[in-house]
Amino acid sequence: MIEDFEKYLKGTNLAENTVSAYLFAIKQYNEQWDGISKKNLREFKVFLIERYKPKTVNLRLRAINCYLESIGKGSLKVPFVKVQQKAFLENVISEADYEYFKNCLKRDDEMFWYFVIRFLAATGARVSELIQIKAEHVRIGYLDLYSKGGKLRRIYIPKVLQGEALSWLEGKKQESGFIFLNKYGDRITTRGISGQLKKLAVRYGISSAVVYPHSFRHRFAKSFLERFNDIAFLADLMGHESIETTRIYLRKTATEQQSIVDKIIDW
């Protein structure tokens, strides 16, 4: 069951962390229920609800539903639990901190990490997509990704970033292949990126709570809408299946809300 599902997941465009989470969920199900049935699936959902937060419950249920699809039993898919969405965004790096971070990295000649955050914040790429970027993509200015269903998503590399990155690659004498490599010359892992960004945040006195790969994707979305208010276009750029997912970027961050409240309320 696990081995076959792992092979199936390898044929998808899911991030490494998501694949690991999905496999964990199936192992968890297997440990307590024998075989797939509506009754067992209902019991598993109750088991999850009693122990985890709604977000975690839905992640495990997504895994189960993905597995059901892989074995041709999509009709047994389990409905998700409702998650109460917050009225604000949390832990998103501010534009000022992003600019400061960029400048510090450039000043200290940390060009690899400078381009890690530049690509994340200027393209809206997920970290799992970031590590797929090659010199060839930088040269043409975009990266095309296909989902399992054959849906195309194009990640555009803005002209200013493209020019900077080409100069960087030229300086390294790199003409082809993946551009984000570790010290051994292998493609860097998403975990390696997350860990180092936290260390750099501490070095430069930026709250580590807002320095993680997805924070820069949030920054991309917020900054895009501030300059070009087209949420449907942003949904396409972000690779969101539903425009409803993108609507969260119309909300203020908790810091922005606090600032507005402090400024206008004087009664």
CATH code for the domain of 21: 1.10.150.130
Please give the tally of structural domains in the chain.
2
Does 122 share its domain with 247? yes
Residue 173 in domain = yes
Is 209 a member of any domain? yes
Asked whether residue 164 falls in the same domain as residue 40, the answer is: no
pLDDT digits (tens, 9 = 90+) for 68-106: 999 999 999 999 988 766 656 778 999 999 999 999 999
The one-letter amino acid code at 230 reads D
Handedness of CA 59, 64, 68, 74 (dihedral sign): negative
Dump pLDDT digits (tens) for 127-152.
999 999 999 999 999 999 886 556 78
Percentage helix, strand, coil, to 5, in the chain? 65, 5, 30
- pLDDT score for 266: 82
Q: Are 29 and 106 part of one and the same domain?
A: no
For residue 85, tell me if it sits in a domain: no
Q: Would 87 be classed as within a structural domain?
A: no
Among 76, 105, 126, where does a domain finish?
A: 76
Residues 116, 186, single domain; the answer is: yes
pLDDT tens string for the chain (267 positions)?
Answer: 788 898 888 888 788 888 899 999 999 999 999 899 999 999 999 999 888 888 899 999 999 999 999 999 999 999 998 876 665 677 899 999 999 999 999 999 999 999 999 999 999 999 999 999 999 999 999 999 886 556 788 999 999 999 999 999 999 999 999 999 999 999 999 999 999 999 999 999 999 999 999 999 999 999 999 999 999 999 999 988 788 888 888 888 888 888 889 988 888
Specify burial of residue 218 (Cβ count, 10 A radius: 0-12, 13-18, 19+). buried
Q: How far apart are CA 75 and CA 88, in angstroms?
A: 35
Is residue 122 domain-shared with residue 44, that is, in the same domain? no
Q: Do 128 and 180 fall within a single domain?
A: yes
Which tokens in the block code for residue 42?
A: 């209902």
Measured CA to CA, the distance from residue 151 to residue 148 in angstroms comes to 7
Question: Quick one: pLDDT at residue 28?
Answer: 94
Is the pTM above the cut of 0.75? no
Domain coverage including residue 231: 95-264
Q: How many CA atoms lie within 13 A of 184 on its CB side?
A: 5
